[in-house]
Amino acid sequence: MIVFDLLCGVGHRFEGWFGSAKAFASQKERGLLTCPTCGSSKVERIPSASRVNLGAPEPKAPKAPAQPAKTPDMEGKDPFAIAQMLYSRMLDELLTKTEDVGKEFPAKARRIFYKQDPVRAIRGQATEQEHDDLVDEGIPVARLPVPPPERLN
């Protein structure tokens, strides 16, 4: 069964139940449809929003999982190449933004930490023992791979 909203020529609005849209057309054709209020056979079907089948509500599109930020030049590269690129960039950063103090590193790091020297980022060499002593004193130092010689100029 389907339900149609109907309107007579005078403006009475009513519902009609039909076996099918075809049955409605047929009954209308033969003048069998009449307004229950005034008996008019001038009946038209009116569109009714309330009967429009909107179907199941659209499933909400799942949010795209957050993609890790990638820079375009990393796209499609294998992880090893990316690691090398990052290492290379880190070196650039390190070499351009730090002062090379060479073997003076432990002494300089200590002086900077205790504010006896202007605060700045330095790099240099330290032995295992010197490194451990600095760490023990709470001086923030990071051990990094020694850059290839061609990067040091």
The footprint of Zn ion (CB under 5 A) covers 8, 10, 12, 35, 37-38, 40
Our CB check for Zn ion shows the closer of 3 and 121 to be: 3
Q: How far is the CB of 41 from Zn ion (least distance, A)?
A: 10
* Residue whose pair of structure tokens reads 């949010």 in the numeric block: 63
What residues contact residue 119 under an 8 Å CB cut-off, 6+ apart? 112
Cα dist from 96 to 26, 61, 112, whole Å: 88, 47, 19
Our CB check for Zn ion shows the closer of 2 and 38 to be: 38
Our CB check for Zn ion shows the closer of 11 and 102 to be: 11
Our CB check for Zn ion shows the closer of 42 and 111 to be: 42
Q: How far is the CB of 48 from Zn ion (least distance, A)?
A: 17
- Exposure on the CB side of residue 72, measured as CA atoms within 13 A: 0
Q: How far is the CB of 40 from Zn ion (least distance, A)?
A: 5
Q: How far is the CB of 32 from Zn ion (least distance, A)?
A: 15
* Residue whose pair of structure tokens reads 């999982």 in the numeric block: 65
Amino acid type, 80: F
- What whole-number distance in Å separates Cα of residue 144 and Cα of residue 132? 14
Residues 3-13, buried b or exposed e (16+ Cβ, 10 A)? ebbbebeeeee
